[in-house]
Amino acid sequence: MSSVVQMNNISHKFGKTTILQDINLSINKGEIFGLLGPSGSGKTTIVKMMTGILSPGEGEVFLNEELMPSLKQMKRYGFMAQSDALYQELTARENLDFFGSLYKLSKSKRKHRIQEVMDMVDLMKHLDQPVETYSGGMKRRLSLAAALIHEPEIIILDEPTVGIDPVLRQSIWQELYRLKDNGVTIIVTTHVMDEAEKCDRLAMLRDGKVIAVDSPDHLKEGIGASTIEEVFLHYGGAAQ
């Protein structure tokens, strides 16, 4: 079976600080793959390498079996960064229209997709409002909408639900499940345990190393723990 994302022997340093150490990951088509770890464990670095905006010091990243960075593969994923990468002066519609154009969507297609993604994140009422008037949670949702605008087959989300209330978080996860049912691969970083439970498979990170990869249930069974939190503490403790 071919994997959608393949990371081989990745190591990376910023200056003299080692950020990642010998990471090997293989993400399958159509799964929700979670990267779980405390802040500073290297989640964002891994995600950036998948998108091709950061080249690993050592090792290789493949998307759909093509070595990154590749402009062709960049069309196939949608990326939601940790910071809300939005143009504050522009309205939501203008932001989405801009990002849609980058993927060469036709004008009518863009119009159609803007409606769809704005409905999805429940911001339709605020479509023509400048982003600077948005609240933090609204910006987060608009970022998600921008990542989905071109109907990507892979979605890479870096801490997507930070600053979003439980009701909306629930609806975002429902949306992610719906996308997964359509065959979309979803890669999501989080440090929230209950979100980690929702993933099909989890990679647990600590200090730039992958300490375990498996489904949440298997991880728990393996060490006889009842929550992911216990698993995390178990592996984290063992690594020290």
Partner 1 sequence: MNTWTLMKRILKQFRRDKRSMALMIAAPIFVLTLMWLVLDGDSKTLNVGLVDVPAPFQETLEKTELELTSMSLEKAQKEIDDGEIDAFLQWKEQKPYLTLEGSDPNTAGAIRNEFQAAAPNDPTKEMNVSFWHGSEDMELFDYIGPVLIGFFVFFFVFIVGGVSFLRERTQGTLERLLASPIKRSEVVFGYLGGFGLFTILQSILIAVFSIYVLKVYMTGSLVYVLIITFLLALTALSLGTLLSAFAKNEFQMIQFIPLVIVPQVFFSGLFPIEGLAVWLQAIGRIMPLTYGAEALRGIMLRDEGIAEFQLSMYILIGFVVLFTLLNIFALKRHRRL
Residue 186 Ramachandran class (φ > 0 left, ψ -120 to 50 alpha, else beta) = beta
In the bound state with partner 1, the residue whose beta carbon lies nearer, of 64 and 206, is 64
DSSP lists the bridge partners of residue 205 as: 210
Rounded to a whole number of angstroms, the minimum distance from the CB of residue 19 to partner 1 is 16
Q: With contacts defined by CB under 8 A, name the span among 47-55, 163-171, 192-200, 201-209 that binds partner 1.
A: 47-55
Question: Which distant-in-sequence residues (6+ apart) come within 8 Å of 20 by Cβ?
Answer: 10, 11, 12, 42, 45, 46, 56, 208, 209
Query: In whole angstroms, how close is the CB of 78 to partner 1 at the nearest point?
Result: 9
Peptide bond into 56 cis (omega under 30): no
173 near partner 1, judged by CB under 8 A: no
Nearest-approach distance from CB 181 to partner 1, in angstroms:
25
- Binding to partner 1 by residue 81, rule CB under 8 A? yes
Q: What residues from 143 to 162 belong to the interface with partner 1 (CB under 8 A)?
A: 146
Min separation Cβ 77 and partner 1, Å: 8
Question: Does position 178 bind partner 1 by CB under 8 A?
Answer: no
Which of the ranges 10-18, 64-72, 171-179, 231-239 carries the binding residues for partner 1, by CB under 8 A? Answer: 64-72
Among 30, 59, 130, 163, binds partner 1 (CB under 8 A): 130
- Which residues, other chains included, contact 231 with Cβ-Cβ below 8 Å and sequence gap of 6+? 204, 212, 219, 220, 222, 223, 225
Q: Is 137 in the site for partner 1 (CB under 8 A)?
A: no
Count of chain residues binding partner 1 (CB under 8 A): 32
Rounded Cα distance, 5 and 15, in Å: 27
**Between 90 and 168, whose beta carbon lies closer to partner 1?**
90
Q: Does 225 bind partner 1 (CB under 8 A)?
A: no
Build a one-symbol-per-residue string for 85-104: x at contacts with partner 1 by CB under 8 A, - elsewhere: xxxxxx---x---xx-xxxx
**Taking each helix axis from N to C terminus, what angle separates 136-148 and 92-102, rounded to the nearest 10 degrees?**
30
CB atoms within 10 A of CB 106: 10
DSSP tag of 122: T
Query: CA-CA distance, 209 to 140, in Å (whole number)?
Result: 28
Find the helix or strand (DSSP H, E) in which 28 lies: strand 17-28
Residues near partner 1, by CB under 8 A: 48, 51-53, 55, 69-72, 74-75, 77, 79, 81-90, 94, 98-99, 101-104, 130, 146
